[in-house]
Amino acid sequence: MPRHAIPLTALALSATLLSLPLQATTSDEALRTETRKAIKEFAGELKGTLKGALKGSGPEGAIQVCNKAAPAISRAIAEKYGWQKVGRTSLKTRNPANAPDAWEKRVLLEFEKRKASGEPVQKLEHGEIVETANGKVYRYMKAIPTGKVCLTCHGTRIKPELAKRIKTLYPEDRATGFRPGDIRGAFTVIRPLN
């Protein structure tokens, strides 16, 4: 066997192994791109509805929108795309129905680490194919930065009458004390792949 046979074989094997993740990345990127579009639609519809409520009936109206309209918008987007879940979650939830599952919590904690190391909140996202008891799903999360308007209901200085209304609608509320630029939570998606 010539001396160069081993290095060439190793090189061929390396080239084959290097090409495998590229195929998976292309597939993941296509899933991510499609999922981003749905999240953008969900976020846009929710933001528009909240802005309208804020303008029309103030923060108390917006709280009512979050309580009733946000879950309906979430369900409508999930049904439109035929996905298992389109929603929001957080480490500090207002609605216990939005509490993160183990996978979401892990991603949210990773987002916090990435933010602490200087990554902009607006760019924090994560997607991966996950094997479940019912088959493969694509799971995706995109961080939601705390903006100025969020502070009215989620900040450190919530007006007493608004705080009372929040407590009435959400007795288990933990979604306060945020500052501009904090990770308010994340959009979350589960897409069946089978």
pTM tops 0.85, yes or no: no
Distance CA 112, CA 143 (A): 10
Predicted pLDDT at 61: 80
Predicted pLDDT at 66: 81
Question: Please, which residues have CB within 8 angstroms of residue 82's CB and are 6 or more apart in sequence?
Answer: 192
| Residue 156 DSSP class | S
Work out whether the CA dihedral 78, 84, 88, 94 comes out positive or negative: positive
Predicted pLDDT at 15: 34
What secondary structure does DSSP assign to 62-109, as a single string? HHHHHHHHHHHHHHHHHHHHT-SEEEEE-SS-SSGGG---HHHHHHHH
Residue 50: strand, helix, or coil: helix
Work out whether the CA dihedral 177, 183, 187, 191 comes out positive or negative: negative
Residue type, 30: A
Residue 29 near residue 129, CB atoms below 8 Å = no
Domain residue spans of the chain: 22-192
CB atoms closer than 10 angstroms to residue 52: 14
Q: Please list the pLDDT of the chain residue by residue as tens digits (194 residues).
A: 444 444 433 333 333 333 333 334 447 888 999 999 999 999 999 989 888 888 888 888 888 878 888 899 999 999 999 999 999 999 999 999 999 999 999 999 999 999 999 999 999 999 999 999 989 999 999 999 999 888 999 999 999 999 999 999 999 999 999 999 999 999 999 999 97
Give the pairing type, strands 135-145 and 85-89. Answer: unpaired
